[in-house]
């Protein structure tokens, strides 16, 4: 059995400072949520660096992977894409415009709903995303190397509990 050494991260210091300044408040929620926010920020930087070598940007990747995951014929509506990526509709329109200009997706009217359009991955987009994704997974595995398999599973399960309420009630962007 290994005992955890007193290794501190920035959040430990942050919480200690609050206890000093506002001993009347219970700041334990920060132990979890502040770490989530900060880790996410660090991850975003890592992603950006990882993608730089593949000539792809973070936001492009998010959209292309959603289409890639959808499977044949790699086609989704803008609405489905914005729900998958947690951005607003204006943002998604803009993203699709730029991806189409880059030849990574095409846009065509939905034959079954004349309000809608369908966004489809091109072969070029497919190749781009598959290459970048493999590399991303490799780098992410390294970031998790500090945790045992079972710890990763436990962490995933705990995070899922927090996430379910958001993903159940419609967390759709407008």
Q: Which two tokens mark 101?
A: 């200009």
Q: Does the footprint of DNA cover residue 55 (CB under 7 A)? A: no
| Stretch of 20-28, 76-84, 126-134, 143-151 contacting DNA, by CB under 7 A | 76-84
> Closer CB to DNA, residue 26 or residue 110?
110
DSSP character at residue 116: -
Q: Does the footprint of a copy of itself cover residue 172 (CB under 8 A)? A: no
> Closer CB to DNA, residue 34 or residue 89?
89
Q: Does the footprint of a copy of itself cover residue 166 (CB under 8 A)? A: yes
- Contacts of residue 104, defined as CB under 8 A and 6 or more positions apart, other chains included, come to 60, 64, 121, 122, 124, 125, 128
Distance (Å, rounded) from C-alpha 82 to C-alpha 25? 38
Q: Which residue has the tokens 């407008």?
A: 174
The residues that touch DNA, with contacts defined as CB under 7 A, are 48, 57, 59, 77-80, 87-98, 107, 110, 113-117, 173-174
């Amino acid at each position: 059995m290994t005992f955890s050494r007193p290794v501190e991260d920035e959040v430990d210091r942050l919480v200690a400072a609050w206890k000093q300044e506002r001993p009347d408040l219970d700041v334990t929620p920060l132990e979890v949520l502040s770490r989530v926010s900060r880790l996410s920020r660090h991850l975003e930087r890592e992603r950006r660096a990882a993608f730089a070598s593949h000539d792809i940007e973070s936001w492009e990747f998010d959209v292309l992977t959603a289409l890639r995951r959808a499977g044949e014929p790699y086609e989704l509506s803008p609405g489905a894409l914005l729900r998958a990526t947690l951005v607003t509709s204006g943002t998604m329109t803009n993203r699709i415009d730029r991806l189409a200009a880059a030849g990574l997706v095409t846009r065509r009217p939905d034959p079954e709903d004349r309000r809608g359009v369908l966004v489809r991955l091109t072969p070029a987009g497919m190749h781009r995303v598959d290459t970048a994704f493999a590399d991303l997974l490799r780098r992410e595995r390294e970031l998790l190397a500090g945790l045992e398999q079972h710890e990763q599973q436990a962490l995933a399960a705990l995070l899922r509990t927090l996430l379910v309420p958001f993903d159940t009630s419609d967390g759709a962007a407008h």
